[in-house]
Structure 1
Amino acid sequence: MATNGVVDNGFEAVREAFDAEPRGGSALAVIRGGKVVVDLREGWRDAARTVPWDEETLVNVYSVAKPVIALAVLLLVERGRIALDDPVKRHWPEFTGGASVRHALTHTAGLPVFPVPRPAEAWADWGLLCADLAAATPEWPPGTVAAEHALTYGHLLGELVRRVDGRSPARFVAEEIAGPFGADFGFGLGADDQRRCAELEFDAPDWPERNAGEPGSVRTRAVENPAGARDLAVVNSELWRSASVPAVNLHATAVGLARFYDELMRRPVGAMMATAEFEGFDHFIGSEVVWGLGVQIEPDGSWGMGGLGGNAAWADPAHDLAIAYVTRRLGDFTTVDRIEQALNPA
């Protein structure tokens, strides 16, 4: 299916980068100075390739979700409801891990793995998974080691939001972020939004194996429990779409994510997020990283987050650009790399 959408003059190379490898269902948005300058989509919403991908299609973007739930906590910091160096226990009395709010935001809380084996049905039980985390023993002293909290991040931060504000994480994000930012995304989708969702699929049958870590590694343990986060039967189900898993199950449009970063670049809280808090080796990612408060910071000063399967969204303050690429076909980051090169040629 041909690419649909609009591209402003000067961004033709970005369209070429997007067109180079159709995924059978993907979208790209770029905003400059508050104006959408690239809004492209291609392919289909469904695996049977019968429903075209349109401007209202939502797709699960995995870890691209993490800065959204991080912002929810930072809005409470801005309002004086919570402080970065507060012990998590101050707001969540059952929590025994010893981490601070800052540790939770920077993937240094030492809790990258849900400690109790749970089936996929547990994704629908917010209280159960939060209780598991509250009782968990950190793998390292909080603040000493970074390991992206692949699945636990959203429950750590989301439960802080719930305890401090009283609203569920999904409601808080809808009312305090998605609505004010004009961003089409959310957690815990209702029936109408679920009907807009794209079906995920793998680029090849061995995709889960290609993206697995070594047996027993932090990476492997972090993504395999509760079951189902990389199982198509789960992530394409009503169970997953209606649940709140703020680390990994934000369902979003590309334009919605670009609007999120465009707004952040214009608010003091964006500068707060993009301040380096940890620099060093991340034991989940397996490489050196710079973590801000909920975002990865790159050497060129851009900041944002990638998501499993090739999704990504980020801010490029040097060029006043907010960019988001989303796909339903889980593969690698070659398309994102081409788009970034087209936006900032050497």
Structure 2
Amino acid sequence: SVSDKLGAEIVRLWVASTDYSGDLNIDDKILARVVDAYRRIRNTLRFLLANTSDFNAATDAVPLDELLEVDRYALARAAQFQAEVLAHYEVYEFHPVVAKLQVYCSEDLGSFYLDVLKDRLYTTAPKSLARRSAQTALWHLTHAMLRWMAPFLSFTAEEAWQVFAPGQSPSIFIETFSEVDAWADADLLAKWGRIREIRDLANKQIESVRAAGNLGSSLQATLAITANAADHALLASLGDGLKFVTITSEATLTAGDELSIAVAPSSAAKCERCWHYRDDVGHDPAHPTICSRCTSNLHGDGEVRRVA
């Protein structure tokens, strides 16, 4: 049976992802898509759990108004998403929730927020504001996501809850949905919605240069962005965070009449720790293969991150 071969969670997810107001279809191709959806959600959850494993909310959490801007945006987007989820649950519509959760995990988290976070999570000092801000947001997102998925991925949500919140409560199924009203921020949603559109355009330019064989990873790229007044003000507000949002080693901004993005490979050396290409790699003879920000993060006060 399908349950014996793929597991009860896959059967449950297939049922939840199907519009039961019409005919129910099942075959190997449909089940393969369900398995793929399950892996995407589970892998997202694994990332969240792994990167909050050394985080104690009681002692390490950063207040909402002190979080870095992209972290506050991620929570604002989660609040917006939860409103959509609950509206569907109110009328017993499960299949739109499954579809939207897949997109949320893939696009909002995997392709954007979690991708941007990796540098902060892996290269800044373990107890720095930059990293604790990221972990605070991830902790809140994990709480919310486990509740969103529990009605149709019951075993997975319960298993993850026991890992994520041991001793807090005996089961995810006696929890209520997260209180997210304080996260809502329409201005941040609008601002970062446009930033993500520009970032997508930059990624397309980077991919075209990579396809031509002139570039390796996006961190090898330098961006030269020309933008109209509105977009220029938006991107300028990111300051040095622009390169972290675009996951490049350098990003410059110039005012112009319309948006254009030029991509070129960096001529600088690659830091073996953070993988950014920087002119100051080897600045410290004691650490000849790393850059100054890594030296600061490892042995000094650490870099200051305000946006991303």
- Larger helix proportion of the pair: 2
Q: TM-score range by the shorter chain?
A: under 0.3
Bigger relative CO (Cα 8 Å, ≥ 6 apart): 1
TM-score normalised by L of structure 2: 0.23
- Scaled by the length of structure 1, the TM-score of the pair is 0.21
Structure having the higher Rg: 2
